[in-house]
Structures are given as structure tokens and as C-alpha cells.
Amino acid sequence: MLALNIVFVLYGLAVFISFAFVLFGKKTPQQVILWFLVILFIPIFGMLFYHFLGRDSKSHKVFFDKSKTDKNHFMQFISTSQKAKHFNQGTDELENSHYIYFGLTKKMKVLNEGEETFHEIFTAIKSAKKFIHLEYYIIHEGVLSKKLISLLEQKSQEGVKVRLIYDRFGSLRFRNKSIARMRKVGIEVAPFLPFKLKYLNISLNYRLHRKLIVIDQEVVFVGGMNIADYYIKPLGTLGKWRDTHLKLEGDIVNGLHFIFLTDWHFVTGKFLNELNKINRDVENGKINTTMIASGPDDEYSNIRLTIFRTLNQAQKYIYLSVPYFMPDESIRLSLINAALKGVDVRILLPMLSESQIVKLGNQAGFRSLLKAGVKVYYYKSSFLHSKVLVIDDEISIIGSANFDQRSFDVNFELSIKSEDKSVAVEMRNYFLNDLRSSSVVHYLNFSKRSLATKVMERIAFLFSPQL
């Protein structure tokens, strides 16, 4: 009897502590009430679910320490250049953030096809003289990964330093045999938040969603494409994936390289001091470009705030392509406000989806958007994985971030904001061309969906941070 009483007391104490975490976390009143109910009515598992997947990402000490360390490194980083006063000025972003970098891009090439993207990547890798730094969410075994590994091995044997960070969750299909083969020839490979007891409560939820390659601190590839064969040939029911990537040259490369350096320090404990400096030899261009990194180590959710401010600047049109569309209230209201004041707001989503739950979650906010005049389309040709926002032939935002809470608050993401008119026009034309392979969602037809579908949409939306 005594033992049973002790169990009840300990359980009550655990529930109380969990309630305290929920109450003092950075959550909306609705989220607090939802988590209270989950913890209360799903004994033990509700608490486990919250502590592993529901806790405020920015409350974890490991991410707080990362941010503090990164800020110190950033101050050292920009102090190596006489142009330090230029950094983080001239933009409307959070100018004091060490995860935002303003630079002048010399060349910006938009890559919309997998074959062209990987041809450019492999060509640049072959030309590397000093180092090749890569970080990816997904690396799947296949034709592309084999060619990439082969090239990296060749460059390593030539004396080029090769370092790779991969997300352990996203790259489950990246074989240990391939990793061992790379390490054997001197390539440094490190998983991001590996499945170890030290990181157990965060490794299941927080993911490195970035796709980045830095070569010799002169050229960068960044965007939405992972290392997987579905970018070069149709695979399964989703077909050949449609995505967008960028090749950049110029000063902006410095900021993107800094992100790799801080991520490398986070996963290995080593900071590459010999590379911790601005490359003063890069030739600046005329394209105003902002690098925005975001994640649980970012106090202000940089990507969300950048998107929020950009949406509210729109005067003519807002064109958005994205596979996961479950925005919070601020972004949803920004889109509605734009449509109500006469801005042409169009959202392009994939008809084909990786899961029915995701598709239901995407639809959860359609009603208010459609009613306000936002036009929603489904891309039918294949799976749309492109994450592109274009506004008024003036601004483009391209990167890894979706329009959902996971991208805004949980994942480590990386986006590029371009203020080049020619790039914006190019992205607008790509968007309009994609609409030719799309079908529009009509408000009246959408309103006729069944009650069961509506209920499933709301349930899917509630769990959107975990999708």
C-alpha cells in the first residue's frame, strides 16, 4: 500500500512539473490548454510526448549555449574585415541577429531542374582547391549519392579538405558502409544530433533541414534539393520531384560559410579557426542579398519574421510555392490582409503528397484564405517540393523553409532573400508556368467537403509541428 502511495505521489509530482513547463513555455493559450489535456488524460505517455516533442525549442540549454557561442564567433568573424560596418545594415531584418547576414552577390543562378543542379554541383566540386563543406537533411543511397561520394573521395585524395554534416533522422537511408568508406580516405563526417542518450530528448524532434555546399569560400549551393535520385528520375507515386536551388558567388558566400562553421562546431566541438574569417578576395556584385538562418537556437524566429514583414510590403502580387502549408495566425492573417487590400495572392501546393495527413493539414486553413480572395492551386505534374516566395517583381525568398511551425520554430533552416528584379521576374515566370500544370481550388466546391474531412483537417493541423 505504501509503495502504491509513493507511486501516486511521484506521478502527481511529474504531472505538476510537466504543467509548469507547459505554463511557462512560449505557447499560445490554446496550445497550453491542449497540452494540459494531453498530459492529464493520456497518463504517462502524454507527459513523454510533451517532453520529447512538445517543449518549447528555445528553452533547451543545448540550443541556448549554441546561440551564445555562435554570437561570440560571429563578432570575431566580422571583425576580420574592414567592411564590418556594412554587414547586417541596409535591410529590414533583425539587424543585430548573428544568424542574418547581408551581402552583395556577384552571381545568382536559379536552378529549377535536378539534372542541371547536380551538374553544376559536381562541376564545382571538381574545381575545388581548398575545401568542400556540405550539410544536408537527406542523403539517400543511389546514383547521385554514389557519384557525389566518388567525387568527394577523389578530391580528398588530392588534398582538398572535405567535411560533411548530415541529419541522422532525415538520412536514415544513408548507409554506415558509405560513411565508413568516406572516413577511410580522410573525409570528416558528422551526424547532426545523433541518436545518443545525451541528445535523446531532442534528437527525435529537432532536425537539420538545411541544404548547403560551400566550396573554397567562393561558391555556394543552397536551396531545397536534397541528395536523392527522385530529382533526376521518377520514383514511386510522387514521380520526379520539382524543386528550386541557387548557385551564389560574391560576398554572401561569407555569411553562408559562417553557418556551416557554427554547425560544424556544434556537432564536433571543433571550430575551424583557420577558416573563421571573411574572404576579402571575393568580388562583390550588385545584388542585395540576405542570408537568413533560423532554428531552435534563434531567439526571434528570423525566417518567420522576414516572411511576415515581406508579405506586408506587397502592393501588387504574392506568389508562393511550398509543399507544407500550415502557417501560424500571423502569416495567415498577413496573406488575408494582402488579398483584402487587392493584392493578387496565389499559393501553389502539391496535389501529390508524401502523406494524406500532410495534405489534410495543408487544407486546414483554406476556408478563410479562399473567402478573402486568396487563390489556391494544386500542382499535378509531380511532387512539388519548391519553397519560393516572390513579391511584386522585387523580392524573392528561396530556401529550405516551409510555411509551418516546424520550419519556423523547430527545424534548422536556411533561406536566401534576393532584392534583384531580374531574379524576381524569373521566379515569377517559373511560378506562372507551373500554374499551367495545376488546378485551382474553388471556394464553393471546397465548402462541400464532408464533416469527417473537416475534423481530420483540424486534427492534422493540431499535430502540424510534428509532421
Spans of all domains in the chain? 2-55, 61-292, 302-466
Q: Is 453:364 a contact under the CB 8 Å cutoff?
A: no
Single out the residue of 145, 140, 203 nearest to residue 169, CA to CA. 203
CA distances 410 to 202, 299, 366, Å, are 10, 12, 23
**Averaged confidence pLDDT in the chain:** 84
Q: Which of 209, 245, 247, 359 is flagged as catalytic?
A: 209
pLDDT of residue 385: 95
- Please check the confidence at residue 91 and state whether its pLDDT lies above 50: no
Tell how far CA 82 is from the center of its chain: 32
Q: Is 216 a catalytic residue?
A: yes
Dihedral Cα 253, 256, 262, 264, nearest 10 deg: -80
Confidence band for 294, pLDDT divided at 50, 70 and 90: very high
Report the C-alpha gap between 242 and 349 in whole angstroms.
11
The type of residue at 124 is A
pLDDT of residue 90: 44
pLDDT of residue 83: 47
Over range 431-443, report the average pLDDT: 94
Report the C-alpha gap between 163 and 180 in whole angstroms.
14
Over range 103-120, report the average pLDDT: 93
**SS3 track for the chain:** CHHHHHHHHHHHHHHHHHHHHHHHCCCCHHHHHHHHHHHHHCCCHHHHHHHHHHCCHHHCHHHHHHHHHHHHHHHHHHHCCCCHHHCCCCCCCCCCCCCEEEEEEEEEEEECCHHHHHHHHHHHHHCCCCEEEEEECCECCCHHHHHHHHHHHHHHHCCCEEEEEEECCCCCCCCHHHHHHHHHCCCEEEEECCCCHHHHHHHCCCCECCEEEEECCCEEEEECCCECHHHCCCEHHHECCECCEEEEEECHHHHHHHHHHHHHHHHHCCCCHHHCCCCCCCCCCCEEEEEEEECCCCCCCHHHHHHHHHHCCCCCEEEEECCCEECCHHHHHHHHHHHHCCCEEEEEEECCCCCHHHHHHHHCCHHHHHHHCCEEEEECCCCECCCEEEECCCEEEEECCCEEHHHHHHCEEEEEEECCHHHHHHHHHHHHHHHCCEEECCHHHHHCCCHHHHHHHHHHHHCHHHC
Over range 35-56, report the average pLDDT: 63
pLDDT of residue 84: 42
Q: Which of 73, 387, 420, 434 is flagged as catalytic?
A: 387
Whether 61-292 shares its CATH topology with 302-466 is answered yes
Over range 160-185, report the average pLDDT: 94
Report the C-alpha gap between 78 and 67 in whole angstroms.
16
Is the domain spanning 302-466 CATH 2.40.50.140? The answer is: no
Tell how far CA 428 is from the center of its chain: 21
Q: Is 73 a catalytic residue?
A: no
**Domain covering 61-292 in this structure, CATH number:** 3.30.870.10
Over range 126-149, report the average pLDDT: 96
Q: Which of 385, 404, 409, 420 is flagged as catalytic?
A: 385
Report the C-alpha gap between 327 and 340 in whole angstroms.
18
The grid cell for 190 is 558528422
Regarding predicted confidence, which is higher, 348 or 66?
A: 348
Q: Is 211 a catalytic residue?
A: yes
Report the C-alpha gap between 43 and 46 in whole angstroms.
6
pLDDT of residue 29: 62
CA distances 9 to 12, 14, 47, 325, 443, Å, are 5, 9, 15, 43, 53
Give percent of the chain with pLDDT exceeding 90. Answer: 54
The type of residue at 446 is F
Strand partners, 453: none
Strand partners, 240: none
* 212-253 confidence digits (pLDDT tens): 999 998 999 999 999 999 999 988 888 999 999 999 999 899
Q: Which of 392, 409, 420, 434 is flagged as catalytic?
A: 392
pLDDT of residue 96: 57
30, with CB counted inside 10 A (0-12, 13-18, 19+), is exposed
CA distances 95 to 87, 90, 299, Å, are 9, 9, 13
Single out the residue of 280, 285, 303, 312 nearest to residue 406, CA to CA. 303
Q: Is 444:239 a contact under the CB 8 Å cutoff?
A: no
pLDDT of residue 73: 75
437, with CB counted inside 10 A (0-12, 13-18, 19+), is middle
Q: Is 387 a catalytic residue?
A: yes
Confidence band for 271, pLDDT divided at 50, 70 and 90: confident
- Please check the confidence at residue 467 and state whether its pLDDT lies above 60: no
Per DSSP bridges, beta strands 388-391 and 395-399 are antiparallel
- Please check the confidence at residue 304 and state whether its pLDDT lies above 50: yes
Q: Is 279:306 a contact under the CB 8 Å cutoff?
A: no
* 317-375 confidence digits (pLDDT tens): 999 999 999 998 899 999 999 999 999 999 999 998 877 788 888 888 889 999 999 99
Report the C-alpha gap between 275 and 402 in whole angstroms.
31
pLDDT of residue 98: 73
pLDDT of residue 434: 96
Confidence band for 448, pLDDT divided at 50, 70 and 90: confident
The grid cell for 116 is 542541371
